[in-house]
Structure 1
């Protein structure tokens, strides 16, 4: 009987559900009686009593663009949930199946650009689409339906909970009882609809330090999520074919209607739409200029610096034949920076300094940029000021300097101008160009460290720390991407001519894949380096560093500051040479190459001479000397433990001495840093190969010189002696680790094994020493040689952050 009763109940429920779905729906006007209507792209109603958004849908099977964003963030640079963070853009459409309304994303990675409907269908059915959400029609009228969009709008579309969990910062889940629509920024316009929601995530029993440091209560994190729906651009945009020499970002897809004799993968550059009013004119106004809006919450004098720097791009558009085609304005008070209609430059605050970045919302079908969106971290400018402070030690009288005469503020603001231009450049479609520094700072898309010299009096000179204005390479890039050619022009030929001109002038372009990896093999592409010759600039940087350290003291900080804060300023000055060390080290085992195309006249690879590599090695080995690594005693004596209330942070030197300042740990990280590049597995493997092919600088030669300049160098006294011993042990760590590293080729391991054997023989010859500290040092090294697999490079104290820190990149 129980089974029969249960079956009856189930049949009744099915029948009831079917009849409920099948019954006639109320009209939209009946369902929304008394509700406030928002007319626009996707009309919607606000039900204040229920806290619901009712969405009216009449655009079925018609594609539009959707993306989410984060207008109010978490404030932790490491987690990365910044104010202004953009989600991925999606081409979507509403599909009606009975009362079900599906929000579907077609798969534009795979296409068939043909008029043959069957051929198109074959491709569409071969690859998955994605159903983003399912709604149920609650009312219907004149071909329109009404759905409750509240659950969709309150879903975690930006992946907030997963992001926090992925960073091991706690387990959180959305609490709808503490979430609600944010009507202030929920608006409708003819071509776009904007919705915003206040969302609270609860949990936090296992909250990590990154969360605890920014949240007022770790058990509840309240942020805001924004949803943008907008009409796709019209068809009056012509995609431009991607050229790897141009420095533009690209979209790509597979076109299965392509003839077998042609490439199936298609590439187009990413750019804004821009057309001349008169394409025949050498210089013309734009039909519609590109306008960026600066965050109106940016204070002075930063606001003026950012406005000026971003506006530099008009110089590039002028070079491309446009008049006033790129403009920068202050965001109006009544405008929402998340609104899809605005290109914006946001001034974003975090608890720690971190990366700035330029992102874009694009049309995935064509590569057209719909919205440029820049995020500038507000603490970056303070780090530049700190570097200048350490270089100048300017507080002789202890007081705060007049802003009008403050050289440190001037340098920091100049850097902000460059930063604004750099990040806007990304939102115009451009990649990084890390080879620009050797061409007299030819691109703002490089990463610039301050260019500092010693003047004729031997004083630190900051007057040319950062370049002003757009570089020559940037002008060619914008011309390539945005030139509006007159009708009848052979576009491919015209674009090649632009790149050929840049090549003829010796302008280079290499990007992240050539510069970021420790084992990269370009002698020109480096992050944060300066100068035409990395070796010469390393020598200059060391001279500037020495001058700054010799002047370092009480005058480096203002009167009334804790003396322990000298360490904050010392870190970037002691490590001031780090980027030029990296650039010089990467010359060793390198090949000068280009993104050459067949027939363009460029030489794909040019061998780097042994002489050039040797000069680089000589300069890098100098940074391992005890003279370079030992912090002067006068500085050490000035730095006490931090007082109560001033907690240590990751911007300081790592320590092995508790709260006491640790000059040995500082030297340890500074010695380990160049060795990470010199003895990088890929580099050493190339050195073996290049020596065999064209008598390049060989690995065995480099290791012999490394041992000669460290283990076999004359021994010093005092703290410098302990620094020297420590550096020798670090060299041994790298040698031992490399000798058993299977990422290298066999000859690298063989050469390292021989170097260790030779070093052991040298150590044995020194064991008759009467100096007990030296004897202990030698005995320890021999013991370590017995077990190479135990040598872990990661055990060395890592260098304090130099570049912006966190999970994203500029």
Structure 2
């Protein structure tokens, strides 16, 4: 390659680790870099990464020079000369641009270093103007769990970072060098109402005397050029057909925006190279653990222009959707249509998932409020929708089979230039920062929920859960399965309502907001608190979920067997404090805490305690949690399930009070409210009163730790 030129450098993992927890999946990408080459002695050429986030600001050479010299660049590699003013780019391939060492260090809990002696450049290939260097990067990784060491008592075994008996792992990285795109692309500043992804921020110091320097740019392909996504030929036929159908839904939106023939998804042409860095690709990725699918983009870091999209669909997470459908539908009864119903749910999810991740590749952000729209956005995180037909659950339309109005709006706004607001999308949208956590303040942002108004949807999910639990039997797993799969299916039913309950809990102490700038929003109507009546209705809907009858393990379910013949335990079982026996108490604790945890989150209690008014919401929130616990424990029924519910609620309340994130005034208000409650009238039990006395004294001891609820995401 010639020296003295600007290059865009990108890196992609083309041979991954197979552990989602590390993030080193096939298809993972590194940062988008602008690099400049310069002589480095008589026989070398340095490849220097520019600081595009802070440097390069201005329109005159003097302005750009001042910005460049104010912030450091980074020399990535010194490459040998190749004659005629060119250089050999191969050493650049050995630079860990995907951050593999850092990711492995986080997983291993200790520093991880590359082993230069075992790393090598595999190939240097040319794809038109793009040079691609594939390298095998080898790292020495200490084993967190030795093969013969005892496995964790609670939870699944640790998957190894390295294959036995080695202590090294090798990740294949492809580094690409391409010339900057031709002029003519118009950068687009992020509009809060567009639904575009905020992936790139640059600083404009040439106008800092007029406005703040940071400018967030939307990521998008250059309008007017065809956008083609190519599918991994490793996809099974059924998967490929679903991904083709789901991904090509975007073609309808481009056509409606006046851009026909601009978008398509197609199989990899015969003889073509899937790793050609000029292609937008959809990888079919395998892992040892369940993790996220991703839609990633490689950009021009100066403008936000998408040069390549890399989508990975994880095969392992589809197992979770299949298991959920099996748990709800109990299809293996010998009837001809049972397994087909499960296959239909999985195919519908794959269609939705393909559209979702390709949407990220197009530059679109999540919309976690679209469950309130007439048709949900494919950029939402949906749960499969089941209904009850007679006494049995069915899945007639588990996922929407079309784009929603918000999806059409995103394409028209980002690619077609339309500014028209989308119909039927109020509240318009809520993205990650305001929706991901259980204690988020936004009342509209919820993940893994079925479409509809939250309280009505919760009632719908609870009806499905009740019907599915009544029908629970070995018919929830394929014949010949490992017996532990029964517990993994029961867990999905026991906690089927968890995400829907969180969506309802977000109404308590919640707000509704509009994404807009100060020109269109200001303070008037930008943030609206949820009314007290709606909050009290939410608490009334959640209160029954904390009753022993709702969380009790049905008699026909227990006991559930563990793994057969010494097979390893799999993720997706309840925590155990009963050695190898099924832990019914853990199942009750989990069902209680997935509701009580979000309700009693310190941030939510802070918001409720500071709300103006008569504190009716705070009183009711504590009545259905701590007050309910004291009532259950004070009755001294001797019923193990009732005792477990009471102590779990009280421990959750105690944990919240001990959390430093809880304001002191909220802590005092909570303690005083519970102490003044009516549930004490019939409580003579000494253990309950002693515990409460300790709480009132602010008991500096740490409360008993609650087992973490089993993971629920992703679906």
TM, length-normalised to structure 2 = 0.92
Which among 18, 37, 48 is matched to residue 104 of structure 1?
48
5+ unaligned residues in a row in structure 2: which ranges?
Answer: 147-156
Q: Which residue is 1:74 aligned to?
A: 17
Q: Does 1:743 align with 2:649?
A: no
2:392 is aligned with 1:459 = yes
Deviation at 1:781, TM superposition (A): 6.1
Matching residue of 2:573: 652
1:360 alignment partner, SS class: strand
Gap change, CA 1:789 and 1:748, over 3 Å in 2: same
How many residues get paired?
Answer: 701
Tell me, yes or no, if the aligned pair for 1:434 and 1:447 is still in contact at 8 Å: yes
Task: Report the Cα distance in structure 2 between the residues aligned to 1:714 and 1:175, rounded to whole angstroms.
Answer: 59
Q: After superposition, where does 1:356-371 map in structure 2 within 5 Å?
A: 356-371=293-308
* Conserved? CA contact 1:739–1:788, under 8 Å: no
Q: CA deviation at 1:505?
A: 5.5
Task: From the CA coordinates, give the structure whose radius of gyration is larger.
Answer: 1
1:406 aligns with 2:340: yes
Moved more, 601-610 or 721-730: 601-610
Q: Note the 1:515-594 alignment, pairs <5 A.
A: 515-594=435-514
Counterpart in the other structure of 2:542: 620
Relative distance call for 1:705 and 1:79 in structure 2 (3 A) is: closer
Q: Which residue of 2 aligns with 1:396?
A: 333
* Corresponding residue to 1:432 among 366, 371, 378: 366
Mapped to 1, the partners of 2:664 and 2:423 lie a distance apart of 39
Q: Secondary structure at the match of 2:700?
A: helix
Give me the whole-angstrom Cα distance separating, in 1, the residues matched to 2:643 and 2:628: 12
Change (3 A) 1:643 1:780: farther
Give the CA deviation at 1:763. 5.6
Q: Distance in 2 between matches of 1:204 and 1:218?
A: 10
Deviation, 1:598, is: 3.9
| Further displaced range: 596-605 or 559-568 | 596-605
Q: Distance in 1 between matches of 2:645 and 2:292?
A: 32
* Contact map agreement 2:220 2:304 (CA 8 A) in 1: yes
Matched, 1:223 2:166: no
- In the alignment, which of 126, 149, 154 is matched to residue 94 of structure 2? 154
1:483 — aligned with what?
416
> Aligned in 2, Cα 1:696/1:182: closer, same or farther, shift over 3 Å?
same
Deviations 1:266-301 (A, max 9, x none): 2321101121xxxxxxxxxxxx31000010110121
Whole-Å Cα distance in 1 between the matches of residues 143 and 174 of structure 2?
27
Please state whether the residue corresponding to 2:558 is helix, strand or coil: helix
Q: Which residue of 1 aligns with 2:603?
A: 682
| Aligned-pair Cα RMSD in Å | 2.7
> Which residue matches 2:106?
166
Secondary structure of the corresponding residue to residue 232 of structure 1: coil
Using the TM superposition, give the Cα deviation of residue 697 of structure 1 relative to its aligned residue in structure 2, in angstroms. 4.3
Aligned CA distance change for structure 1 residues 631 and 778 (closer, same or farther; 3 Å): farther
Q: Secondary structure at the match of 1:752?
A: helix
After TM superposition, list the pairs within 5 Å mapping 1:231-630 onto structure 2. Answer: 231-250=179-198, 251-258=200-207, 260-275=209-224, 288-397=225-334, 406-455=340-389, 457-483=390-416, 495=418, 497-498=419-420, 501-502=421-422, 506=426, 508-600=428-520, 603-630=525-552
Q: What is the TM-score normalised by the length of structure 1?
A: 0.81
Q: 1-side partners of 2:207 and 2:655: how far apart? A: 50
Alignment match, 1:48? none
Where structure 1 has 5 or more consecutive residues not aligned to the other structure, the ranges are 1-41, 43-57, 276-287, 485-494, 768-773, 806-810
Is this contact kept in 1: 2:36–2:48, CA < 8 A? yes
Q: Which moved more, 1:560-569 or 1:696-705?
A: 696-705
The Cα shift of 1:624 comes to: 0.6
Deviation string 1:601-651 (CA, Å, 9 cap, x unpaired) is 7831223221111111011111111011101011003x2232223221231
**Could you report, residue by residue, the CA deviation over 1:237-291 in whole angstroms, capped at 9, with x for unpaired residues?**
112232011110132212122162344332321101121xxxxxxxxxxxx3100
CA distance in 2, matches of 1:336, 1:594: 45
Q: Distance in 1 between matches of 2:71 and 2:698?
A: 53
After TM superposition, the structure 1 = structure 2 runs for residues 101-140 of structure 1, keeping only pairs within 5 Å, are 101-111=45-55, 114-137=58-81, 140=83
Counterparts in 2 of 1:458 and 1:68: CA distance versus 1, 3 Å: same
Alpha-carbon separation, structure 2, partners of 1:241 and 1:199: 37
2:149 maps to none
Aligned-pair CA distance for 1:202: 3.6
Report deviation, 1:214.
6.1
Kindly tell me: are residues 333 and 222 of structure 1, through their superposed partners in 2, closer, same or farther at Cα, counting changes over 3 Å? farther
Distance 1:120 1:665 in 2: 61
- Residue aligning to 1:788: 699
Please tell me whether the aligned partners of residues 373 and 424 of structure 2 are also in contact (alpha carbons under 8 angstroms). no
Report if aligned partners of 2:373, 2:425 keep a CA contact under 8 Å in 1: no
Q: How much does 1:468 deviate?
A: 0.6
